[in-house]
Structure 1
């Protein structure tokens, strides 16, 4: 039952929101081909396709029937397209600023405030002056 429901919902979506509903017009294609074949018995299907699809559209006396053929015009205007407008971006990179490096070594004149006998002490740089 789930499979049938999925097939029905997928079919409805494809017929409503894509150009797959044009496939339902294939009987009009065959009927129109038979009419052309009756008028010109030497016409084959490839010539019929060239006349109606590959050549420029010409308004003739059967133009209304030509417009009912599948994939002749686009009926589905509910296309999901995204239009992005890109504006040029200017990136300016400033020259790196040199930060003077100042190192403090702990010696007798610059002794830290913590006691030397504490267990938890921050790491000290190994500087010898």
Structure 2
């Protein structure tokens, strides 16, 4: 009994929230194919599918009947969907700015004082007198 209830609930869920309910329209597809077959006896099923599904939509005398075929349009609006609009990103790279080469010459009077207080200094020669 649990298995039958599970199958029933799963079937209801699949039919309600997916496009599988379109499979219930397959008998109408066969009936519409038979109508085309009586109008043109040389039409086969692959030509019928090509006319109704693969070619661009054409408004003909039986357009309302064509719209009732399975998987012809999407009418399952139970699931919220998000449509993302893709806009290509543009990247602009500015040319590099040239930095002028300016060299400052420090003599002993203009020598910065912070270098003499550093921890890491070069070794000094010991004066032996």
Q: CA deviation at 1:78?
A: 2.1
TM-score by length of 2: 0.62
Distance 1:27 1:83 in 2: 33
Structure 2, unmatched stretches of 5+, are: 85-129
Q: CA deviation at 1:77?
A: 1.5
Q: CA deviation at 1:79?
A: 2.4
Q: CA deviation at 1:33?
A: 0.2
For the pair 1:76 / 2:56, whether they are aligned, the reply is: no
TM-score by length of 1: 0.62
Q: CA deviation at 1:82?
A: 5.4
Q: Deviations over 1:49-108 (max 9, x none)?
A: 000000011111101110110000001012244578xxxxxxxxxxxxxxxxxxxxxxxx
Distance 1:38 1:83 in 2: 42
Match of 2:114 in 1: none
Match of 2:50 in 1: 50
- RMSD between superposed Cα atoms in Å: 1.8
For the pair 1:63 / 2:63, whether they are aligned, the reply is: yes
Distance 1:53 1:61 in 2: 17
Larger CA deviation: 16-25 vs 74-83: 74-83
Structure 1, unmatched stretches of 5+, are: 85-129
Match of 2:17 in 1: 17
The 5-angstrom pairing of residues 1-129 of structure 1 reads 1-81=1-81
Distance 2:81 2:60 in 1: 35
